[in-house]
Amino acid sequence: MGMVGSAIGRHLLESGYRNLVTRSRQQLDLTQQQAVEAFFYAYRPEYVFLCAAKVGGIRANSTYPADFIYQNLAIQNNVIFSAYKTAVRRLMFMGSSCIYPRDAQQPIQENSLLTAPLEKTNEAYAVAKIAGLKTCEAFNDQYGTDFISIMPTNLYGPGDNFHLQNAHVLPALLRKTHEAKQRNNDTLEIWGTGRALREFMYVDDMADACVFLMNNTESRHTMFNIGSGQECTISQLADTIQDIVGHHGEIRYDSSKPDGTPRKLLDLSRLTALGWQAKTSLKSGIEKTYEWFLQNQSKNQEQQ
């Protein structure tokens, strides 16, 4: 499983759930409809966390848009349809905060969806995720299913992808800073101006929110933002990571590279109204993530 699925699995086990059914990408290719249907009919799950997706940062999204839209559409369509056919009691579809308009009013409310153009650098991925949540809504409307969708902010934590070319900003910057320290580099280059604002959430907090919402039957809503409620600039993020890693070189920003969406802070009113909020600070979360990174260096170094 990936970072998100692993975190949800850990949280379920810690909460006393034992009858968990999981499959790795190698064991079950979710882009293959026949294989997915066979799995659902064989195991008849009652609750489904649909976390699987092809993900990546700005560079990966810009380089492989066809892969991002095709693979994500295939994965979610196969799982959602199989969940319907086998009468799954409840399914949770994981979207992304990138579904919202590039220049949405901040903090971004769920009803901002489809009110303005998307950020071009991750448009293909965003369109696939929008299709997924609308598919869930359509099945609820037509067939009375209980499918809910969550839109998490930028996630990070143990098990993240630290690939220098394809990772999201925080894990990529963490690895880049670590390697700059190892090589005694005096400088550290970062894409963009450093002024873009982002909200980051430790993956174990996200897992806690997912299990909380899966068990909640009080809300009339079927779509929820999930986040930490705190934001920082990329420059502030870089400074925090440098401090944790122990690299003190000069940071140079390459303003010829894109910043992506200028600001992306989620409105968490629907979630907090139910009594949930994140517990892990950004510094604490990065410290835990860096500790995991150091313990898994051989695996991380395989990611170029």
**256: which residues sit within 8 A by CB, 6+ positions away?**
none
- DSSP-derived secondary structure for 8-73: HHHHHHHTT--------TTT--TT-HHHHHHHHHHH--SEEEE-------HHHHHH-HHHHHHHHH
The residue type at 111:
N
What single-letter DSSP state applies at residue 234? H
Residue 75 token pair: 């994965």
Query: For this structure, is 125 an active site residue?
Result: yes
Spot the catalytic one: 100, 125, 156, 290. Answer: 125
Q: At what angle do helices 169-182 and 234-245 cross, to 10 degrees?
A: 40
Cβ-based burial of 96 (10 A; exposed 0-12, middle 13-18, buried ≥19):
buried
Contact 97, 108 (CB under 8 A): yes
Residues 52-84 as b/e (b if ≥16 CB within 10 A, e otherwise) read: bbbbbbbbbbbebbeebbebbbbbbbbbbbbbb
Kind of pairing, strands 197-202 and 231-233? antiparallel
Q: What letter represents residue 205's amino acid?
A: D
What are the residues whose beta carbons fall under 8 Å from the beta carbon of 273, sequence distance 6 or more? none
Which tokens go with 237?
């993020």
Residues 250, 300: Cα–Cα separation, whole Å: 25
Name the residues annotated as catalytic: 125
